[in-house]
Amino acid sequence: RTGFDFFTDFLMHPAVVSFLSGAAYGSASVLTGQPFDVIKTRMQTVEVRTEGTARASSWRVGWQLLKSEGIPGLYRGAIPIAVGGSLFRSAQFGFYETSLSLFRQHLPQHKILFLDYQILLAGMIGGAGRSLVEVPFELIKVRRQIAASWAWRELYVGASATAVRNVCLFSSFAFYMNLVTYALGEHALSPFVFGAVSANLAWLTVWPLDVVKSQVQSGLTPTAPLTQRLHQLYRSGLLFRGLWPGLLRSSVANGCAMEVKMWVDRQLAVHNARQA
């Protein structure tokens, strides 16, 4: 074959395949998990402004929102995150797969049982790549979820908090995917269960950082360094505020999204094999 073929030479490039499958992951995640995410964000921000509402349960927060705004209220902030979700999750998986491929080619292999430093490094890079795209979409999403206004000059408010959370989150996600595969064997779990378990373990690891990120981007709390915010959350018992709706969102969204991502991966791989 001579000449350039768009599908074979571009769309089937490993880096492009990673970005496309990540985009499929992101779209499915937003569609299935948004109501839980709205409840989670409101618990972390609006519901902690006064002492009387600081302990409102996720069910109470969701029910009050449903009564006051109906179903549309549960999908507040869906548009910016639906647009941005495909982009930043495709960036996340694209940076991860590309950097891991480079590490496998050029760095020495060193493993202690399941612990693979190359996967952790690639996960950090994937999280950093996600942050480059995600911050403005996340800020708009958070402000829409709490019915607050935003300005163009604020689009990168919370950039450092988001970056720290994402680097820790996706490296943890990559670590737990590797751990689950090592412990149970490849394909021992369905894509849904595999995605849900790995994502929930990652979120449990970094949840206090997500609370900080939400509060910073909400604009409802005074400015303070990350360590001071974490200390304040610890003293007030709010380090894991919004955890249960967050884990429900993670289970449903990441389980469904992993099914979609793996289906896209398989379809692209089959077409690539036919073209070989």
DSSP string, 115-169: EEHHHHHHHHHHHHHHHHHHHHHHHHHHHHHTT----GGGTTTTHHHHHHHHHHH
Q: Put residue 65 in one of left, alpha, beta given phi > 0 → left and psi -120 to 50 → alpha.
A: alpha
Q: What is the pLDDT of residue 18?
A: 61
Residue type, 143: R
Round to whole Å and give the CA distance between 236 and 221. 14
Q: What is the pLDDT of residue 188?
A: 87
Q: Is the pLDDT of residue 24 over 80?
A: no
Looking up tokens 């839980």 gives: 36
Round to whole Å and give the CA distance between 184 and 201. 16
> How do residues 230-252 score in pLDDT, each as one tens digit?
999 999 899 999 999 999 988 88
Using alpha carbons, select from 131, 259, 246, 163 the residue that is nearest to residue 200. Answer: 246
Residue type, 126: G
Stronger pLDDT, 25 or 131, i.e. the higher one: 131
Q: Is the pLDDT of residue 138 over 90?
A: yes
Round to whole Å and give the CA distance between 157 and 174. 27
Contact criterion met (CB below 8 Å) for 224 and 232: yes
Q: What is the pLDDT of residue 206?
A: 97
Q: What is the pLDDT of residue 116?
A: 87
Round to whole Å and give the CA distance between 213 and 242. 13
Contact criterion met (CB below 8 Å) for 118 and 103: yes
Range with top average pLDDT, 81-95, 159-173, 174-188, 259-273: 159-173
Round to whole Å and give the CA distance between 229 and 147. 23
3-state secondary structure 156-172: CCCHHHHHHHHHHHHHH
Q: What is the pLDDT of residue 216?
A: 96
Query: What mean pLDDT is predicted for residues 163-172?
Result: 96
What is the band of 75 on the pLDDT scale with cuts at 50, 70, 90? confident
Q: Is the pLDDT of residue 45 over 60?
A: yes
Query: What mean pLDDT is predicted for residues 144-160?
Result: 94
CB neighbour list of residue 120: distance below 8 Å, 6 or more residues apart: 171, 174, 175
Residue type, 86: S
> How do residues 83-119 score in pLDDT, each as one tens digit?
787 778 778 888 998 999 999 999 887 777 778 899 9
What is the band of 34 on the pLDDT scale with cuts at 50, 70, 90? confident
Query: What mean pLDDT is predicted for residues 162-178?
Result: 94
Q: What is the pLDDT of residue 52?
A: 46
Q: Is the pLDDT of residue 271 over 80?
A: no
CB neighbour list of residue 85: distance below 8 Å, 6 or more residues apart: 26, 27, 29, 30, 137
Q: What is the pLDDT of residue 51?
A: 47
Q: What is the pLDDT of residue 19?
A: 67
Backbone φ and ψ of 146, nearest 5°: -105, 10
Mean pLDDT, rounded, of the chain: 85
Query: What mean pLDDT is predicted for residues 35-42?
Result: 93
Query: What mean pLDDT is predicted for residues 214-224?
Result: 93
Q: For the chain, give the percent of residues with pLDDT over 70.
A: 83
Q: Is the pLDDT of residue 9 over 70?
A: no
pTM over 0.85: no
